[in-house]
């Protein structure tokens, strides 16, 4: 589907983050009416190395109600992609900021956008909303969030459902599973694996049976854009975006070992499991696949090849 068919102007909240930046780059390939929002773009390593024109970058702290209102009423975007998030990383532990960024800013942005009307609002949720109910849950199954981050995102899913079912607004909430690929935060697992294997070694790893459902960022961007284009046809409001495949840390490490031709074996349980690590964490994408005629097309091995190739061409990205 053509990006040109999305109603503009387009606003991307959280454009300085991993998925938001990839979305910004993809949309800017074919149009110029795309604006990426960041609270501190001057210090953002993606903006500084990704060569995005300053005219497409907007500085705004979305947790500041007045800044957010001024931005929205000025640009009057017809399509809003909300990829802003706080609390996904272990160093982001401030509960107040988690809820201000993830829930309150979403509430405010939709309320202000209602004043001028909009065509599509797509929110990037997370598989973490399911929490302890993590073995291929369907969208209507119980949420058992196990962190403030997960609670805040689950709350947004109910908010989006309210806006769609009660106020009949063109909104959607995508529960994204574990994204990876170019421009990912360097401290995350896959970037760390790539960086360490340059030295023919492996980083400290958790229990080898911990699992994820890894989705290549290109597939996620396609899912987000597809949702915006078909948002008025959706029957539901919340969808899983996943491969449906369980990949353990051991599986992942051995693929990296093969691709990078590493002689040594990874050593597992050399670091403590994080409190959100779970043995069976993978998704059920059937509903989204059926309604959107969408599915992941990049295999894990191919996605890792793409990521390694990108890293080889962008040695400064992790500095």
Tell me the three-class secondary structure of the chain, residue by residue: CCHHHCCCCEEEECCCCHHHHHHHHHHHCCCCCEEEEECCHHHCHHHHHHCCCHHHEEECCCCCHHHHHHHHHHHCCCEEEECCCCCCCCCCCCHHHHHHHHHHHHHHHHHHHHHHCCCEEEEEEEHHHHECCCECCCCCCCCECCCHHHHHHHHHHHHHHHHHHCCCCCEEEEEECEEECCCCCCCCHHHHHHHHHCCCCCCCCCCCCCEECEEEHHHHHHHHHHHHHCHHHCCCCEEEECCCCCEEHHHHHHHHHHHHCCCCCCCCCCCCCCCCCCCCCECCCHHHHHHHCCCCCCCHHHHHHHHHHHHHHCCCCCC
Domain assignment present for 206: no
Domain assignment present for 258: no
Number of domain units in the chain: 1
Domain assignment present for 20: yes
CATH code for the domain in which residue 100 is found:
3.40.50.720
Domain assignment present for 99: yes
Instruction: Please report, in tens digits, the pLDDT of each residue of the chain (319 residues total).
Output: 577 789 889 999 999 999 999 999 999 999 999 999 999 999 999 998 888 999 999 999 999 999 999 999 999 999 999 999 988 777 777 999 999 999 999 999 999 999 999 999 999 999 999 999 999 999 999 999 999 999 999 999 999 999 999 999 999 999 999 999 999 998 899 999 998 888 888 888 989 998 999 999 999 999 999 999 999 988 889 999 999 999 999 999 999 999 998 888 888 877 666 666 667 889 999 999 999 999 999 999 999 999 999 998 886 555 4
**Single pTM value for the model:** 0.94
Identify the domain containing residue 144 by its residue range. Answer: 3-182+214-244+282-297
Domain assignment present for 316: no
Domain assignment present for 102: yes
């Amino acid at each position: 589907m053509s990006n040109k068919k999305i109603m503009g102007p387009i606003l991307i909240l959280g454009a300085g983050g991993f998925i938001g930046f990839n979305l910004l780059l993809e949309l800017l390939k074919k149009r110029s009416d795309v604006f990426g929002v960041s609270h501190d773009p001057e210090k953002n390593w993606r903006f500084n190395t990704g060569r995005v024109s300053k005219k497409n970058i907007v500085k705004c702290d979305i947790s500041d109600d007045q800044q957010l209102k001024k931005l929205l009423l000025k640009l009057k975007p017809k399509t809003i992609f909300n990829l802003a998030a706080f609390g996904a990383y272990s160093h982001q532990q401030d509960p107040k900021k988690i809820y201000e960024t993830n829930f309150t800013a979403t509430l405010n942005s939709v309320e202000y956008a209602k004043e001028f009307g909009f065509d599509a609002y797509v929110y990037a949720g997370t598989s973490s909303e399911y929490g302890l109910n993590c073995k291929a849950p369907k969208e209507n199954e119980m949420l058992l969030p196990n962190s403030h981050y997960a609670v805040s995102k689950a709350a947004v899913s109910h908010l989006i459902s309210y806006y769609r079912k009660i106020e009949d607004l063109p909104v959607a909430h995508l529960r994204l599973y574990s994204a990876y690929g170019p421009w990912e935060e360097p401290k995350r697992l896959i970037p760390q694996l790539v960086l360490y294997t340059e030295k023919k070694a492996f980083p400290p790893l958790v229990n080898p049976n911990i699992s994820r459902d890894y989705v290549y960022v290109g597939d996620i961007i396609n899912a987000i854009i597809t949702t915006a284009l078909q948002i008025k046809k959706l029957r539901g409001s919340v969808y899983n975006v996943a491969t449906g495949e369980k990949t353990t840390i051991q599986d992942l490490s051995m693929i990296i070992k093969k691709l990078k031709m590493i002689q040594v074996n990874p050593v597992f349980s050399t670091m403590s499991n994080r409190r959100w690590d779970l043995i069976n964490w993978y998704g059920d994408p059937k509903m989204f696949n059926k309604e959107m005629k969408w599915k992941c097309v990049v295999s894990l091995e191919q996605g890792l090849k793409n990521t390694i190739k990108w890293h080889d061409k962008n040695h400064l990205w992790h500095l």
